């Protein structure tokens, strides 16, 4: 079975600062890759380089048949924006000329209620908001989901529901995922592979074998430099 994605010697430099150096990994069909690392270690930038929205050097090779869906980190939606998830889904469907049945499929798959669909995005709760973003990503039947800490802004119960939803979707539709997470219990439960990132790729493999205490100490324990948190730039503009 061919890989959906092969990343070789990925390097990203932003504003003269090296964010990622020599990162290597692969993603096979249906695989569930967790990306872990401390704050500011370049995880979000890694996802962005996979989507081609930041400049990079090295190789990122996607299989031709790949359709990517992206679930960003919590977006600070403007409470005054009179835009609903129904508006957003219909906008995306019109841009890509998806039929109405595709929108219905995404809505049902992410278990969005009529109420969620018609509430302005700024008024949704954390869990509802993330489900709405998942529906938006599902539109177009992706076979890979890129998720940036999809549960960062929700309570534990909501977190559980999001993970279960994702797991169910991946199972049912054979969707591979690259999921950035802080949450090691998620990694042990759902991830088939794990990639540790702290500027460089520090570990890569099956979680149970890879995440030794020494590796985790090295990943989180050592002194690490703080740069400006990359997420803050775009979400507010």
Q: Which residues pair with 26 in a beta bridge?
A: 6
> Toward another protein, which CB reaches closer, 1 or 233?
233
Q: Does 55 bind another protein (CB under 8 A)?
A: no
Q: Write out the two tokens for 13.
A: 């430099």
> Could you tell me the smallest distance in angstroms from the CB atom of residue 87 to another protein?
5
> Could you tell me the smallest distance in angstroms from the CB atom of residue 205 to another protein?
28
Distance (Å, whole) CA 191 – CA 206 = 8
> Toward another protein, which CB reaches closer, 41 or 49?
49
> Could you tell me the smallest distance in angstroms from the CB atom of residue 231 to another protein?
8
> Could you tell me the smallest distance in angstroms from the CB atom of residue 77 to another protein?
7
The answer to whether 119 touches 84, Cβ cutoff 8 Å, is yes
Q: Write out the two tokens for 72.
A: 């960003």
Q: Does 126 bind another protein (CB under 8 A)?
A: no
**Piece of the chain touching another protein by CB under 8 A; list 2-10, 31-39, 67-75, 150-158:** 67-75
The answer to whether 154 touches 50, Cβ cutoff 8 Å, is no
Distance (Å, whole) CA 227 – CA 199 = 11
Q: Does 138 bind another protein (CB under 8 A)?
A: no
The answer to whether 158 touches 151, Cβ cutoff 8 Å, is yes
Q: In what helix (H) or strand (E) does residue 11 lie, and over which residues does it extend?
A: strand 3-14
Question: Given the rule CB under 8 A, which residues bind another protein?
Answer: 51, 53, 70, 72, 75, 77-78, 80-84, 87-88, 90-92, 94-95, 120-121, 133, 136, 233-235, 237
């Amino acid at each position: 079975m061919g890989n959906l994605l092969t990343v070789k010697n990925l390097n990203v430099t932003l504003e003269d600062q090296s964010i990622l150096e020599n990162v290597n990994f692969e993603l096979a069909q249906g695989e569930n890759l967790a990306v872990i690392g401390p704050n500011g270690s370049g995880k979000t930038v890694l996802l962005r380089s996979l989507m081609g929205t930041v400049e990079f050097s090295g190789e990122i090779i996607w299989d031709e048949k790949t359709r990517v869906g992206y679930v960003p980190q919590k977006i600070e939606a403007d409470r005054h924006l009179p835009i609903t998830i129904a508006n957003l889904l219909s906008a995306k469907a019109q841009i890509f000329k998806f039929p109405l049945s595709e929108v219905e499929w995404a809505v049902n798959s992410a278990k969005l209620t009529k109420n969620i669909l018609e509430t302005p995005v700024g008024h949704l709760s954390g869990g509802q908001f993330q489900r709405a973003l998942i529906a938006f990503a599902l539109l177009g039947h992706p076979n890979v989901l890129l998720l940036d800490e999809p549960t960062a802004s929700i309570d534990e119960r909501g977190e559980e529901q999001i993970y279960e939803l994702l797991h169910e979707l991946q199972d049912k539709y054979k969707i591979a995922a690259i999921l950035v997470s802080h949450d090691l219990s998620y990694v042990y439960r759902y991830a088939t592979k794990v990639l540790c990132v702290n500027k460089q790729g520090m570990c890569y493999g099956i979680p149970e074998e890879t995440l030794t205490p020494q590796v985790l100490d090295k990943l989180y324990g050592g002194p690490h430099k703080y740069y400006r948190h990359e997420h803050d730039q775009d979400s507010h503009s």
